[in-house]
Every structure is written in C-alpha cells, then in structure tokens.
C-alpha cells in the first residue's frame, strides 16, 4: 500500500524542467532581464538596475510558468568568458540571445556571436529568441533594425523557430510576451528535446 501511495505522490508531484540559456555580449542587460523575470514570476524584490554587477560565470534563476519549471542560465558575456558557454549547450531547451539595442557599435559583434551559435550543432533545432533589449532608452535602435540584422543570418537558421522581439529588462516592457513565446516553443519542441523530470 505504501508503495502505491508513494508512487502516486511522486507521479502527481513530478515536475518538468526546461533550461533556457541566456547569452549575449557583456553589457547587453541579461542579468537585469533575469532579475526582472524573477520579480515578475516569483515576486523577488527588484534590484536597482544601476547596482547590478556583470555576471562572471553563471547566474541561475528558476520560475514556474503553467506548472512547468523554467531554469534560466545567465552566462557571462565578456569575450574571455564566452569559452564556458559550450559546456552548457547540451542542457539548453531554448536560447535567449540578448542584444543591447543602444550599442550600435557592437551590433556587428553581436551578429557574429549569434552566427556562431546558430552554426553550433549542439544547439541545432532548439528555439531561439533574439531580444532587442533596453528599448526604454531614448537612443535605442528600432526593432526593425535588429530584425534586419538577424534576417541576414537566415541561411543558418535551419528548421528552428527564431523570433526577434523587443523588451526592456529595466522597465519590464515585453518581458512577459518573450517568456510566453519561449514557453510555447519549448513545449512544442519537447518531443525533440524532452524536459528533465524532477521527482
């Protein structure tokens, strides 16, 4: 009887977990975006964006969306830290690539980094959201401009879902829409990339 009850409890309380890799150049606002996500979904106090330090290594945040656990892995974007990214590719169910919409000078560097990710076989087939961040800033480039840059990489996108959206991690604009898109694509792709089931 205990085994039956225990088995039923484990079945009812098991939880699917999906990992979203948050990548992008240093200064693109990944950590601020993650803090906003944690504030919106689990009610953590919002940190002052000006006091958030650049990520060195990995910054992890977990949130629930429709009884599914999404684990966000914010990986440091400095050039010397990008070498660690590859060790996390196998865990990823989706890729959230964050672009600083204000920093036009580094848009070419962001494009080359994105191209490298698209060509990596270990990331093949997983959904990819390119987020034009910092749209609250007056000098931010338009979403149309970022889409034009991403569209030049169309030949490398294979059959994956790719979407470009705008957002402000600092103000929260567009964040929920971004998470909703990621969630829906992860669920649609679960046959190809199954979740980790936590019991």
Concatenated DSSP letters for 53-92?
A: PPPSSEEEEEEEETTEEEEEEEE--SGGGGGGGGGGGGG-
113 labelled ligand-binding = no
25 labelled ligand-binding = yes
176 labelled ligand-binding = no
136 labelled ligand-binding = yes
The number of residues in the chain equals 199
87 labelled ligand-binding = no
Buried (b) or exposed (e) across 129-141, using 16+ Cβ within 10 A?
A: bbbbbbbbeeebb
27 labelled ligand-binding = yes
Distance of alpha carbon 173 from alpha carbon 178, whole angstroms? 10
Residues forming a β-bridge with 75: 58
55 labelled ligand-binding = yes
Per residue, the 3-state secondary structure of 115-172, as one string, reads HHHHHCHHHCCCCEEEEEECCCCCCCCCHHHHHHHHHCCHHHCCCCCEEEEECCCCCC
92 labelled ligand-binding = no
135 labelled ligand-binding = yes
152 labelled ligand-binding = no
Closest by CA to 20, choosing from 73, 85, 98, 77, is: 73
30 labelled ligand-binding = yes
74 labelled ligand-binding = no
169 labelled ligand-binding = no
53 labelled ligand-binding = no
Positions at the binding site for Mg(2+): 31, 55
Positions at the binding site: 24-31, 55, 77, 133-136
Positions at the binding site for GTP: 24-31, 77, 133-136
């Amino acid at each position: 009887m205990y085994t039956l009850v225990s088995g039923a409890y484990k079945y009812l309380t098991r939880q699917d977990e999906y990992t979203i890799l948050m990548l992008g150049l240093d200064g693109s606002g990944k950590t601020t975006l993650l803090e906003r996500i944690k504030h919106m979904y689990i009610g953590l106090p919002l940190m002052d964006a000006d006091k958030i330090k650049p990520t060195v290594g990995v910054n992890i945040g977990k949130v629930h969306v429709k009884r599914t656990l999404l684990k966000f892995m914010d990986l440091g974007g400095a050039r010397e830290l990008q070498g660690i990214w590859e060790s996390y590719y196998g865990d990823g169910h989706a890729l959230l690539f964050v672009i600083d919409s204000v920093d036009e000078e580094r848009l070419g560097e962001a494009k080359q980094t994105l191209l490298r990710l698209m060509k990596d076989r270990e990331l093949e087939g997983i959904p990819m959201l390119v987020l034009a961040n910092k749209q609250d800033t007056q000098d931010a480039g338009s979403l149309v401009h970022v889409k034009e840059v991403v569209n030049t990489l169309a030949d490398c996108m294979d059959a994956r879902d790719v979407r470009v959206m705008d957002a402000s991690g600092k103000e929260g604009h567009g964040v929920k829409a971004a998470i909703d898109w990621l969630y829906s694509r992860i669920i649609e792709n679960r046959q190809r990339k199954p979740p980790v089931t936590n019991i």
